Amino acid sequence: MEYFVYLLASFLAVMIVITLHEFAHAFVAYKCGDPTPKMAGRLSLNPVKHFDLLGILAFAFVGFGWAKPVPVNPYNFKNGKWGSFFTSVAGVAMNFLFAFAFYPIAQLVFQFVLPKTAGTYMSIFLFDLVLYIYTYSLTFCIFNLLPFYPLDGFRMVDALNKKRGKIYMFLRNYGYYILLALMFVHILADRIYLFAYIDLLGYFMSFAMNILGWPITAFWGLFF
């Protein structure tokens, strides 16, 4: 039963985090002059509109994944270069800002709600839910900053740099497979000790979580 509660909390947290991420992409693209996301029904806070089954399951079980990409037409942007950049950065910015705003809510739940429900499934569910909403917001932000196609990090670089050198073409053509390999090693690292030494994705995520999480915990630590 506790495992089912964990899965439910994890799934709900994933849906919240991914929906906000994809809505931010659609909203900024629309504001920059591209009606494509609205026409595709992606200018919505309905999680079903952004649902990608494999990506959601990866997120729920591994801790990071993906959603259905928001369709955009950069030729519709009022300023092609900056429209593409702001659209790309919108998702990770939304995740970070939401993590920042949600942290005090999580602290209030930990300090005042959980003690009153201690020992119940509701307590387990609330603990997991608020913890995952915060951590998934940060991990999704960090994961999408990786400069591998088709992640936002690659799209940011692509928007600002129009040179198509060997490094760019390598990341464009093989970035997806590099991501799959990194994720596969990360999964194995949790189960086979030797793989922990080559878990590059795990090292990066832990390092970046500490860096990006520090200003949030430091600021709100002044009040809690």
**Cis-peptide into 71, omega within 30 deg:** no
**What does the alpha-carbon distance between residue 144 and residue 156 come to, in Å, rounded to a whole number?**
10
Span 76-104, pLDDT tens digits: 999 989 999 999 999 999 999 999 999 99
Q: Which residues contact 185 (CB under 8 A, 6 or more apart)?
A: 195, 198, 199, 200, 201
Q: Which residue type sits at 175? A: G
Please report the pLDDT score of residue 107 as a whole number: 94
Q: Do residues 50 and 78 touch, judged by C-beta distance below 8 A? A: no
Helices (H) and strands (E) in the chain, counts: 8, 0
For residues 10-32, average pLDDT: 93
Instruction: With residue 126 as reference, give the H or E element that holds it.
Output: helix 121-144
Residues annotated as part of the active site? 22
Q: Which of 204, 150, 207 is nearest to 177 (CA)?
A: 150
Percent over 90 (pLDDT), the chain: 57
**What does the alpha-carbon distance between residue 82 and residue 12 come to, in Å, rounded to a whole number?**
33
Please report the pLDDT score of residue 100 as a whole number: 97
For residues 118-142, average pLDDT: 91
Please report the pLDDT score of residue 21 as a whole number: 95
Residue with tokens 């603990």: 127
Question: What is the reported pTM?
Answer: 0.91
**What does the alpha-carbon distance between residue 31 and residue 109 come to, in Å, rounded to a whole number?**
35
**What does the alpha-carbon distance between residue 72 and residue 134 come to, in Å, rounded to a whole number?**
28
Mean pLDDT of the chain: 89
Q: Do residues 32 and 83 touch, judged by C-beta distance below 8 A? A: yes
DSSP state of 75: G
Q: Which residues contact 167 (CB under 8 A, 6 or more apart)?
A: none
**What does the alpha-carbon distance between residue 196 and residue 175 come to, in Å, rounded to a whole number?**
22
Please report the pLDDT score of residue 106 as a whole number: 93
Q: N- to C-terminal Cα distance for the chain?
A: 32
Burial of 119 (0-12, 13-18, 19+ CB in 10 A): exposed
Residue 200 has pLDDT above 70, yes or no: yes
